[in-house]
Structure 1
Amino acid sequence: MASAERLPGWTYVEPDTLEDIAATLGAQTPARSLPEATLRDKINAAWLGRIAGCNVGKPVEWGSHWTAEHIREYLILADAYPLRDYVPMLDPMPEGFTLTACWPETTRGNVKGSARDDDIDYPILALHLLETHGTALRPEHVGAAWTRLFPIEQVFTAERAAYVNMIEGFTGSDVARRRNPYREWIGAQIRGDVFGYVHAGSPWEAAKLSFQDASLSHVGNGIYGEMWAAALVAAAFTASSATEAVEQSIAVVPPQSRLAEALRHTLELKASGITWDAALAEIEAAYGHYSWVHTINNAAAVAVALLWSDDDFLTGVGRVVMSGWDTDSNGATVGSVLGVIAGTRNLPDNLIAPLENRTRSALFGFDNSVISDLADRTTFLALNGLT
């Protein structure tokens, strides 16, 4: 299967190397800068927004059970629809509804510092990698950090397959491709934000650097997902709105790929004037055949939530979590983007205060990280450049 040719009629062009990806793209959005105080504040808000958004989605991160319809039914029973807070825990739980095992530390009233999650581990690791390697970062550096700092049982799907391949001595493209049916799933997309933070206002620079991380474990749309997320976050720092950030970010995705097609679809839906509910239904119909942890459907859900967010943090995070699929990953990405747009002062206290400025992590040496410290270190790189 790994060496089989595409079926006749395949029209997509989905290269894997950075050079071939770049060759498919048109002109990129020019880099833009912003004042130091503004940059510092927005990076802090981005970290807080990402971590809060992740925790909002964690109790319902089970896409085969927590569909958009099922989430809506539960939130209506809990008098919490539309979602604008952490997910409530009903006691007793209604029959047919089961929150994930993390609910004692991620539901409304129970958040006391951020729970551990891979959507938080990877940004922390990305920061460490950039502090260590800067622009010289390559996939082998990422792999070495995984095997040194990440317990294998805390990495999943494509990342675990790549991890096993490295332990068994495989290198190069074999790490991402050998026995890895998850290599176009969402795992890389959740790892892109910090590359956007350090290249605030420079979507293409963020995307190029994130490629070095993504290509360790992913190919095709899996790689594009991380490049898109990095560009999306970078664009948010200088864009006038979340819609403009989405529009700019698509420029880093190969235009004849399935991901680009899906993202363009979301913009067409927005231009048509339909409601968020109708747009979500369209996205479910078009991309619901993918695994609930695939890149394409989840990226579309993120884009739709941002396009219909009206730049409001609670609206955007609530809507992307209510969309189902990979709720914590998508909540983190939307929280990151809208955190940048909002700034620290405008973040909602009901989501931010319970984080207590700290997060758990499975990375060796990084547990109980202080969120403001992560932001300060990120800001230093953004201001002083990567060596």
Structure 2
Amino acid sequence: MLRLTWVQPEDLIGHELHQAAQDGRESDTIAARWHAAGGPPAPLRAGASPTPASPYLRALATDLLDELADLPGELANHEPTELASVMTRCPDWPARQPDPPAAGDGSTPTAAPEASEAPGASPAVAVPRLEAAWLGRAVGCLLGKPVEKLPLRGIRALAKATGNWPLHTWFTARGLPAELTAAYPWNRRSASTSLAENIDGMPEDDDLNYPLLNLLLLQRHGRGFTTADVARLWLEELPAGRTFTAERVAYRNLLAGVEPPHTAHHHNPFREWIGALIRADVHGWTNPGDPAAAAAQAHRDATLTHTANGVYAAMFTAATVAEAATGRSDIHACLRTGLTVVPPASRLAKAVHHAVRLAHSTVDFEKVVDVLHTTYGDYHWVHALPNTALIAAALTHADGDFTGSVCRAVSGGWDTDSNGATAGSVAGLLAGAPDALPERWTTPLKNRLATSLTDFNGIGFDTLAQLTHRETRHP
């Protein structure tokens, strides 16, 4: 029997019950009905429960998902999704920078170094800085791939057993005791392409597919794209099997005729998970010095699949990246900029503030991670809230250093490849150029990225930087 992951009602209901408890909906009666009927809890790490549900349970799960959707949530007022409502709750929302002049209006766009920009202007971003960002995203993702889905204790045990703790280089199976291999098996989809002994270019991953898609989005529709444009692009270019969690549910909803932004709501318990965050970098890369524009673009992208904190995570990331792309701010200023586009009363803002304070005050990053896991351990390992907090803590604790940032982000567990990718993108921007990144990270990538997306398979990071740069020069 074909077992589809992330879309079957009997697998969604447990996650929706968990989501309801987190956003203040009174769902105890519905939960009791589900469990009394023999309904299983949500799968802990996989996208599908181990055994198929009966037709009765599947029908019941569908009905209960509809009932849960109608329950009011006590946090809705503090955590809106509509952009206008988000902006009114952000007292320090950044001023929007004017668009750069369009070609043909008498002005010639320039790729001059950032330092030559006039004070207060929205600065250009140099091609080498964008290449470092693409490389950084790939490095961080690849570092986290083999340990994705492993518990924190497993990540630490594997690294320590091979002399790689604190984490400072690629994971390896060489010299690993057999009992550890059995106790903490590498991610089966990634082990053959992401360990030190077998890396040969950057393998395909959704953490790179989505930036490629958003680059294609800007090429086709410009920065005025709509959420419907995002949806059409996905249906045209993104294989359904390359989607997961909220993105897979939204994709299914589109095929069922559900229109955006309802695609983010309908039977989608993953709407506050990390998927929108991993799509946000391009919006920041192409709006250097304009975090408001970056956040607005990220919002239009994110609302195809996400709501509330899932959307804020994308906006926070885009705004942080937009400030980092200028080359004029340190990591701490970049993170403060990111927080200006997140409602201060939201759970995401509070978690990021907590993580940053913790990273500033704690010397040992293992202790930072332990506190974060204790505080936010009730959230799913793919949820945006704990992962965004960990990314902010890693960048803060490493003071923006590239190796320190990606290694801390991955060593902190949860969604390791996504966290490493975002930390690597930001730290790569701060580094400023590919040759500022250690060769042990960049050489194995061989300037080659694999993907199932049209016309991008095998593309080099230098070419991606050039293509991205073009999209920063047009309104």
TM-score normalised per structure 1 = 0.94
Once the two structures are superposed, residues 148-201 of structure 1 have per-residue CA deviations (whole angstroms, 9 ceiling, x without a partner) of 111111100000000000001111332111110101100000000000000012
- Structure 2 residue matching 1:378: 3-state secondary structure: helix
- Residues 31 and 201, structure 1, Cα contact 8 Å, conserved in 2: no
User: Which residue is equivalent to 1:6?
Assistant: 73
Quick check: 1:12–1:258 contact (8 Å CA) kept in 2? Answer: no
> Where do 1:302-381 residues align within 5 Å?
302-344=391-433, 345-381=435-471
Q: Give the residue type in structure 2 aligned to 1:23.
A: T
Distance in 2 (alpha carbons) for counterparts of 1:272 and 1:113:
38
Map 1:9-158 → 2, pairs under 5 A: 10=75, 13-29=78-94, 36-38=112-114, 39-62=126-149, 66-90=150-174, 93=178, 94=180, 95-101=182-188, 102-158=190-246
CA RMSD of aligned residues (A): 1.9
Q: Which has the higher contact order (CA 8 A, sep 6+)?
A: 1
Q: Deviations over 1:323-353 (max 9, x none)?
A: 0000000000000000001122210100101
Is 1:161 the counterpart of 2:249? The answer is yes
Tell me, in whole angstroms, the C-alpha distance in 2 between the residues paired with 1:271 and 1:249.
Answer: 17
User: How far did residue 278 of structure 1 move?
Assistant: 2.0
SS of the aligned residue for 1:369 comes to coil
Q: C-alpha separation between the residues in 2 aligned to 1:364 and 1:183? A: 27
Is the contact made by 2:87 and 2:93 (CA closer than 8 Å) also made in structure 1?
Answer: no
User: Separation in 1 of the partners of 2:89 and 2:165?
Assistant: 43
Cα deviation for residue 109 of structure 1 reads: 2.8
Alignment of 1:214-253 (within 5 A): 214-238=302-326, 239-253=328-342
Shift of the alpha carbon at 1:362?
2.1
AA at the equivalent of 1:80: N
Q: Residue 25 of structure 1: CA displacement?
A: 1.0
Whichever of the two has the greater Rg, that structure is 2
Deviation at 1:271, TM superposition (A): 4.2
Supply the distance in 2 between the matched residues of 1:148 and 1:11 (Cα, whole angstroms): 34
**8 Å Cα contact 1:192/1:210 also seen in 2:** yes
- The alignment-based identity, stated in percent, is 36
CA distance in 2, matches of 1:12, 1:321: 34
Where 1:252 maps in the other structure, the secondary structure is: coil
Question: Which residue identity lines up with residue 266 of structure 1 in the other structure?
Answer: A
- Residue 313 of structure 1 aligns with an amino acid whose one-letter code is F
**Separation in 1, partners of 2:453, 2:392:** 30
Cα separation, 1, equivalents of 2:361 and 2:134: 33
Question: Is the CA contact 1:12–1:257 (under 8 Å) kept in the aligned structure 2?
Answer: no
Is residue 237–residue 341 contact of structure 1 (8 Å, CA) maintained in 2?
A: yes
- CA offsets 1:67-98 (integer angstroms, 9 cap, x no match): 22221111110111122222112366433120
CA distance in structure 2 between the aligned counterparts of 1:109 and 1:35, rounded to whole angstroms: 39
Residues 211 and 279 in structure 2, CA contact (< 8 A), matched pair in contact too: yes
Higher mean C-alpha displacement, 238-247 vs 113-122? 238-247
**Conservation of the 8 A alpha-carbon contact between 1:40 and 1:379:** yes
Runs of at least 5 residues in structure 1 that lack an aligned partner in the other structure: none
Give how far 1:131 is off: 1.1
Q: Does 1:264 align with 2:353?
A: yes
Q: TM-score, normalised by structure 2?
A: 0.77
Amino acid at match of 1:127: L
Query: Which has the higher mean CA deviation after the structures are superposed, 274-283 or 198-207?
Result: 274-283
Higher normalized helix content (fraction of residues): 1
The alpha carbon displacement at 1:267 in A equals 2.5
Shift of 1:41: 1.7
Secondary structure of residue in 1 paired with 2:183: coil
Partner Cα distance (1:11, 1:367) in 2:
42
Give the residue type in structure 2 aligned to 1:45: A
Residues 165 and 175 in structure 1, CA contact (< 8 A), matched pair in contact too: yes
- Quote the offset at 1:35 in angstroms: 6.7
* Equivalence for 2:375: 286
Q: Which runs of 4+ in 1 moved over 4 A?
A: 29-35
Aligned residues: 380
**In the alignment, is residue 177 of structure 1 matched against residue 265 of structure 2?**
yes
Query: After alignment, is 66-75 or 83-92 more displaced?
Result: 83-92
2:373 partner amino acid? E
* Alignment check: 8 A CA contact 1:40 1:376 kept: yes
For residue 82 of structure 1, what is the amino acid of its counterpart?
P
Distance change (3 Å), C-alpha of 1:18 and 1:115:
same
